[in-house]
Structure 1
C-alpha cells in the first residue's frame, strides 16, 4: 500500500509538473509584440466653453448644433501591445488616433469664445483637432493557458485645438491645450479557441486640483480571429467620456467630449 501511494504521488506530481510546464509554455507563446491598424467609425458628442479673464464666462457651445460639425467620422486608429521579459507578467499598452474636422455655419445666436464675441447671423469657420495618445504599464496578476488579467497605470494625453474665424467681422480666436491625465484600470484577454481571442480594457481618471478638474472613463471590448500565425482580423467597440476643466494663466477651458464607435482592424503579431 505504501509503495502504491508513493507511486501514485510520483505520477500525480509528474502530471502536475507537465501541466504547469505546458501552461507556462502556452503563456510564452503569446506574441511579444502586437500592432493593430484599423478604421475607427466615431460618433461624437462634444461641448466646449472658453472663458476670458477680460470678458468672463464664455458661451457653452455644442459642436454639432452651434458650430455645424458632423458628429460622425471615420479615422485611423493604432493600438500596440509589447510584452516585456519572459515571466509573462509585464506589458506595455499604447494607442493613438487623431480626429480633425472643419465646418462653416451661420450663427443662430451671439456667442463669446475667449476674448472675442461673434454676433448673431455671422458666418463662422471652425476648425477642431483632437489627438488622443495613451500609454499604460500593466502588471498581469492572473494568467493561465487561455487568459491573462492585469492592473494598469498610465497616462491619457488629450491634445485639443479649436479655432473660430469670422472673416466678415475680422475676428479670430483659437485655443490649443495639451492635457496629460493619469489613469488606472484593468486589462484582460481570453483565448476562446486557437484562433479566437477576446480582449477588454478600462481606464479611469478623476482629479480635482487648483487648475484642473475632471473625469475620464475609457472602455474597450474587441474580438480577434487569427487568419495566420502572425495576422488576425478584429473588430471592437470603444467608448470614452470626458469632462474636463483646465484653468491657465489668463483663461479657462471647459471640455465635455464623448466618442464611441466600432473599429475594424488587422492585428500583426510578432
Structure 2
C-alpha cells in the first residue's frame, strides 16, 4: 500500500449502495421508481478497536522486530471514527457512490524501552532507548465506485459493486530522534537529535469488488448488508482490504433514515523498504488496521 507515489492523488472508492429500487411505494419511504433519480447523503460514526503495527530494525542486534503502536507507543486502541457516504441512484438499477473514513491518533511515551530505526522517505532515523517520543498515526481511506442491482423484487435487492480506493497515511515521530547516514554497507547515526521524522504516503487508486443487498422485513424497516474485498501482490507491495457491514435501516420520515449496523473493517499492508543503497537493510514497513464495532448513521434522500 505504501506506494510512495508522493503525489496527492484523487481518491475514492466504493461503499455499499444499499437502497431499495422497485419497491411498494407505501413501504419504507425509500422508493426509487424507474423514472426517478435519487441522491443519498449519509454521515455517522463507529466506535472501533484498532490494532496497528510496523516492522522496524533493532540497531543493537541488527534484527527486525514488530513495534505495536497501541502497546509500545500508547496509541488509543478504542476510538470513535467518523465516516461520510454519498450515493447517486439512477435508471432503476444503477448507482454511483463515494465514501470516506478517518482514523487519526497521536500519543506520547516518556521513555522508549527498545531502540529502533525506521526508514521514512528514503531517510533512516534512529530512536534510542530512553528517548521521549510523540507518535502520530493518521489514515484516511476514500473510495469511489459503481453498483448494479442484478436481482430485484418487491421488497429486496441484490447487487454487485466495483470501484477504486486510495489510502492516505501519515506516520510521524517527534522527540529524541537521530539522523543516520548511509555509506556503502555501513550506517552511521548522528547523536544530534532532530525535532521530527514524518512519512506521508499515498497509494495509487486500487480496485476492489463487492456484493450488497437489502430486504424490507417490515414497513419502514430494512435489513442491509455489504461485503467488499481487495488483494494485491506486486513487486515490493502486498496488501488487502476487507469491509463487511450488516445492520437495520429505519425510516424516520419520507426523506430521513437512521441505520444501526456492525462493521468489520481490515486493512493489512506490507511494503518492502528500499534505501538509496540496496546493501543497507532497514526493516520492511508493515501496517495492519482492524476496525471492529457498532456504527450509527443518519441519511437524507432527495
TM-score (norm 2): 0.74
Pair 1:148–1:61, CA change in 2 (3 A)? same
Deviation at 1:193, TM superposition (A): 2.3
Alignment of 1:138-153 (within 5 A): 138-153=147-162
SS at match of 1:60: strand
Contact residue 107 and residue 135 of structure 2 kept, 8 A = yes
Q: Which residue of 2 aligns with 1:120?
A: 129
More helix by share: 1
1:110 to 108, 115, 135: 115
Alignment of 1:249-260 (within 5 A): 250=275, 252-260=284-292
Pair 1:159–1:24, CA change in 2 (3 A)? same
Contact residue 58 and residue 112 of structure 1 kept, 8 A = no
TM-score (norm 1): 0.82
1:178 aligns with 2:202: yes
Deviation at 1:154, TM superposition (A): 0.8
Q: Which residue of 1 aligns with 2:41?
A: 35
Deviation at 1:23, TM superposition (A): 5.7
* 213-222 or 250-259, which deviates more: 250-259
- Aligned CA RMSD, in angstroms, stands at 2.6
Pair 1:263–1:23, CA change in 2 (3 A)? closer
Deviation at 1:58, TM superposition (A): 5.5
Deviation at 1:156, TM superposition (A): 2.1
SS at match of 2:218: coil
- Please tell me whether Structure 1 or Structure 2 has the larger radius of gyration of its CA atoms: 1
SS at match of 1:234: strand
CA distance, structure 1, for counterparts of residue 259 and residue 101 of structure 2: 17
CA distance, structure 2, for counterparts of residue 205 and residue 60 of structure 1: 24
The answer for unaligned runs of 5 or more in structure 2 is 1-21, 26-30, 179-192, 276-281
Contact residue 127 and residue 177 of structure 2 kept, 8 A = no
Pair 1:248–1:154, CA change in 2 (3 A)? farther
* Higher RCO structure, 1 or 2 (CA under 8 Å, sep 6+): 2
Pair 1:80–1:44, CA change in 2 (3 A)? same
1:192 to 210, 217, 228: 217
